[in-house]
Amino acid sequence: MFSVGIYGASGYTGTELLRLCAGHADLDVVLATADTKSGANAADVYPSLAAAYPGLVFTDPDPAAAEGLDVVFLALPHGASQRLVPDLRKRVGAVVDLAADFRLKDASLYPRWYGGEHTAPELLPEFCFGIPELFRDQIVGAHLVAAPGCYVTTASLALAPLVRAGAIEATGIVVDATSGVSGAGRSLRQTSHFSTVNEDFTAYGLLDHRHTPEIEQAIGAQVLFTPHLAPMTRGILATCYARPTGEVDPLTLLADFYAEEPFVVVDERPPSTKATYGSNCAHLSAHHDPRTGWVVVLCALDNLVKGASGQALQCANLALGLPETAGLPMVGVYP
């Protein structure tokens, strides 16, 4: 049994980690920290956790409390991990960070895209990028993993195989992606109020969304990324457009690339967010339009599972030497 700590356990991704770890035969959550919810019983904050964690109490995020743990997940707002990791990494077996603090390899990008200098740039080279289907060799046995979020995961799974194969041009790629409201996290904002989101569909982060450089780093190509917010709780769908470099069958290329991947479904059917609800699977499709010349690639996944906590757990399995699929649901909840 491996001991687990979750920092930021009272947020949506932290709570999802608690749910997934409860179904994992080899993981035991012994530490769950929170900030504003410190001292509260987890089951009082989220009654859905009551059966699995009847006595779990959220504690203060003290790095010393993680001493000797096998793996720690950081489900914290951007900037918080930079303050914890330099100390925490010396105390635990592995760290899987769900925030953006250690995803970008180039420290000079942080002031432009995240509004401030990185406080631990010397650690950036030590982190591997946590999309197992694309960077598995780096994650196996890793000590430090930076797990990307939902937008980056969705776009990268859709586009990286085509870029690597040289099947599409590496510039002028368009990524239009739509996420459910849970992607904004638990903190209350005007833009995430029910009365704001309900019966609305809107774009945001035009031309300068902070996840743009992460997508470009992961796929090795230039993108124009536009995120959208839809009135649904979970789910994300990315529709990506690129110019082919020659004759291409993108669906076959994707099917061959992901043929051995348990959490990727490639099909002619357009992917549906509802089909991925609650699962760690990404559903993809791709088509070439001879009339316009464009290649269209689509990917859907659950933004809190494969787009966040599930992928983080998938990375932890690889880092700890456990079966990669352990504790991760492959079937979505439907209806």
pLDDT one digit per residue (tens) for the chain, 335 residues: 999 999 999 999 999 999 999 999 999 999 999 988 899 999 999 999 999 999 999 999 999 999 999 999 999 999 999 999 999 999 999 999 999 999 999 999 999 999 999 999 999 999 999 999 999 999 999 999 999 999 999 999 999 999 999 999 999 999 999 998 887 676 667 777 776 778 888 999 899 999 999 999 999 999 999 999 999 999 999 999 999 999 999 999 999 999 999 999 999 999 999 999 999 999 999 999 999 999 999 999 999 999 999 999 999 999 999 999 999 999 999 98
Rounded CA gap, 232 and 235, in Å? 7
Residues with active-site annotation: 150
CB-CB contact of 71 with 93 (8 Å): yes
Kindly report the CA angle at 48 between 44 and 49, in degrees rounded to 5? Answer: 70
**CA dihedral sign, ordered 199, 182, 26, 282:** positive
Q: Where would I find the beta strands (DSSP E) of 98-235?
A: 128-129, 144-146, 173-179, 202-203, 223-229
**Residue 92, pLDDT score:** 98
Q: Which of 242, 240, 228 is nearest to 197 (CA)?
A: 228
**Residue 183, pLDDT score:** 72
CB-CB contact of 257 with 136 (8 Å): no
Q: Per DSSP, what are the bridge partners of residue 6?
A: 32, 73
> Is-same-fold flag (2-148+306-320; 150-302)?
no
Residues contacting 226, CB < 8 A, separation 6+? 174, 175, 176, 177, 203, 205, 206, 209
Q: Which residue has the tokens 């960077």?
A: 135
Domain ranges within the chain, ordered by starting residue: 2-148+306-320, 150-302
Rounded CA gap, 49 and 183, in Å? 20
Q: Which of 187, 180, 195 is nearest to 231 (CA)?
A: 180
Rounded CA gap, 226 and 300, in Å? 16
Neighbours of 123 (CB within 10 A): 18
Would you tell me which CATH number, out of the four given (3.30.360.10, 3.30.499.10, 3.40.50.720, 1.10.150.120), belongs to the domain 150-302? 3.30.360.10
**Residue 259, pLDDT score:** 98
Fold classification of 2-148+306-320 (topology level): Rossmann fold (3.40.50)
**Residue 191, pLDDT score:** 72
**Residue 192, pLDDT score:** 72
Strands 236-242 and 173-179, sheet pairing: antiparallel
